[in-house]
Structure 1
Amino acid sequence: MGEVLKSGTVKQRAESVTLFWAIWRARNDLVWNQKSSTVNKIVASAKQSLTQWILAQNRSYNTLLQPQVKGDGVSYWVNPQLNTFKVSVDPAIFEDREEVGFGLVARDSDGRLIEPKAMIHSELVEPVLAETMGLKEALSWIEQMQWPQVTLESDCLVVVQAVRSSAPMRSHFGAFISECRNIMYRLNNVELLFVTRSVNMVAHHLTRESYALSGGRLDRWSISVSVTDCIEMDLSS
């Protein structure tokens, strides 16, 4: 590693330093939190962190971090246009069970609930990767349901802008971004928007409910009062 840091390319040095940092963080997790990690997870975390850092340093990407599409960055619920469905997605990381939950909700042009969905992924991942996986699940759901026109909302700006971008990303994060881009290209009927967390509370509550699913199925008749209350608050705002 010493030779790489001395005479390696800029890319090789960056990869080495990021890997050192990921190993150090895994060591601290083991010592202080009694949380062990695998080699694959440490390497994947290093690659993902480096990708995010490169994107953050890129000036052209920084300009993308400002709302660029009409409807980006809203802080209140907006009904979709007539004959358009709105799908919201949000992940939650359950560290005690080393799982990630996803909450998805589809609503019609009047803001009324069409279909809720919650699921569990049995592997612990970094937050931004969880956001990307959730977006991919939402797009796959839209494709499966064959809805005619959809507005898809996420409160993770980095992921939204990464999907909109055409920049290549050679990482685990980039692989999921590429899958999202491919599904959107196939569908050609999905508008992707960034919204604030306050607009995404219904999906957020559904995600929390996924914790108790254990492989079960959530439908519109089994959602909690907190979810229905959030929907009513959106409609009254």
Structure 2
Amino acid sequence: MDFKDLAAFNVAMLGKQGWKLEIVSQQGAAVDVWNAANVWHLISPSLVLFDNASDIIFHLLRILSTTQIENIVTIIWSIWKARNLKLWQQVTDSTTTIMVRAIHLLEGWRSANRKQNPSNHSHIDTTLPRNHTNQVVDGDSNIRWRKPRSGRLKCNIDASFSDVNNKIGLGMCIRDSKGFHVRSKIMCFSPLGLYHAIRWIHELQLENVDFEVDSKRVADYFNKGSGDVTEFGSIMDSSIHFCRSFLTNSHVEFTRRQANEVAHTLAKAATSSSSFRIFDEIPTCITDLIFNEMI
């Protein structure tokens, strides 16, 4: 078969089911997404020529560039994801949400391929419109998140205060020894995220978790402090007792903000959320960070 790029072909197959569900009908929110992505003009002629999803995909693989194929396939996947969310969780994604999810997937996939093929430095354009900026880590570039040891998990916690919303947002993210996202959570209220993170880990029945906070005061008190009669000390003493009772093989470490970007980004997102949320899949606001820190 005369395909221009085997890798693009393999990725395209991932979107095949989504195409069958959403594209052949030429109606609904899918067309709005294609128009927003400025690729509908590439797809619509094939819908006139063929009435079978597989034929449409194989035809596009032959006539489009690798970059165009990558863009279209990731949008197909995001549309398919939106369809499943609506069907199983009664969640309706906007056109913007579908687009941003596709952008994050594509950027993560391209970043991983660049790392695996360092000799390929050619510039790759994208037809997907962008409405966000890339994360930039401030400070010493050598300070970055580190994966936990094999067989352990790491839970990063951070807080962010919003003057506009008058809220304290908490962000927590659990990752495994390969850097893969396990689960994350955002919530508002308490100034001590560690208190909530410890109880959340216990509710999930997880073990061997390394907690990282970018508050040296919290880490120092947890490991060697006592006797503080303030509200801070009361909350910390409760956290220490709870951890020693139920999470005996876990500990708390201090990390710099530059190595705690995922939790910090989640904490900022929490300040604009009306309630707490738990994510089984990677939230779009931290997708780039997760991919970068896995490498």
Give your verdict on TM over 0.5.
yes
Question: In structure 2, how many angstroms separate the alpha carbons of the residues matched to 1:150 and 1:222?
Answer: 19
1:206-217 to structure 2, matched below 5 A, reads 206-215=266-275, 217=277
Which SS does the other structure have where 1:167 is aligned?
Answer: coil
Tell me the CA shift for residue 216 of structure 1.
Answer: 5.2
Identity value in percent: 25
Question: In structure 2, how many angstroms separate the alpha carbons of the residues matched to 1:100 and 1:218?
Answer: 17
Question: Structure 2 regions of 5+ residues with no counterpart?
Answer: 1-141
What is residue 212 of structure 2 aligned with on the other side? 153
Question: In structure 2, how many angstroms separate the alpha carbons of the residues matched to 1:161 and 1:235?
Answer: 28
What is residue 90 of structure 1 aligned with on the other side? 158
Cα deviations across residues 147-174 of structure 1 (Å, max 9, x unaligned)? 1211110111111001112420000111
Tell me the CA shift for residue 146 of structure 1.
Answer: 1.4
Question: In structure 2, how many angstroms separate the alpha carbons of the residues matched to 1:174 and 1:109?
Answer: 32
1:106 aligns with 2:174: yes
Structure 1 residue aligned with 2:226, among 167, 170, 181? 167
Question: In structure 2, how many angstroms separate the alpha carbons of the residues matched to 1:211 and 1:174?
Answer: 25
Structure 2 CA distance for partners of 1:234 and 1:139, relative to 1, 3 Å? same
What is residue 195 of structure 1 aligned with on the other side? 255
Question: In structure 2, how many angstroms separate the alpha carbons of the residues matched to 1:200 and 1:92?
Answer: 12
Residue type of the alignment partner of 1:146: Q
1:6-45 to structure 2, matched below 5 A, reads none
1:141 aligns with 2:203: no
Tell me the CA shift for residue 222 of structure 1.
Answer: 6.6
Which SS does the other structure have where 2:147 is aligned?
Answer: coil
Question: In structure 2, how many angstroms separate the alpha carbons of the residues matched to 1:167 and 1:217?
Answer: 33
* Contact 1:162/1:177 (8 A) holds in 2: yes
Give the TM-score taking structure 1 as reference length.
0.61
RMSD of aligned Cα (Å): 1.8
Cα deviations across residues 163-190 of structure 1 (Å, max 9, x unaligned)? 1124200001111111111112112121
Structure 2 residue aligned with 1:79, among 123, 134, 147? 147
Cα deviations across residues 41-76 of structure 1 (Å, max 9, x unaligned)? xxxxxxxxxxxxxxxxxxxxxxxxxxxxxxxxx932
Larger CA Rg, structure 1 vs 2? 2
Structure 2 residue aligned with 1:180, among 222, 239, 263? 239
Question: In structure 1, how many angstroms separate the alpha carbons of the residues matched to 2:269 and 2:193?
Answer: 15
Which SS does the other structure have where 1:212 is aligned?
Answer: coil
Cα deviations across residues 117-160 of structure 1 (Å, max 9, x unaligned)? 00011x7xxxxxx2xx1011111111111112111101111110
Q: Tell me how many residue pairs correspond in the alignment.
A: 153
Question: In structure 2, how many angstroms separate the alpha carbons of the residues matched to 1:155 and 1:200?
Answer: 7
Structure 2 CA distance for partners of 1:222 and 1:233, relative to 1, 3 Å? closer
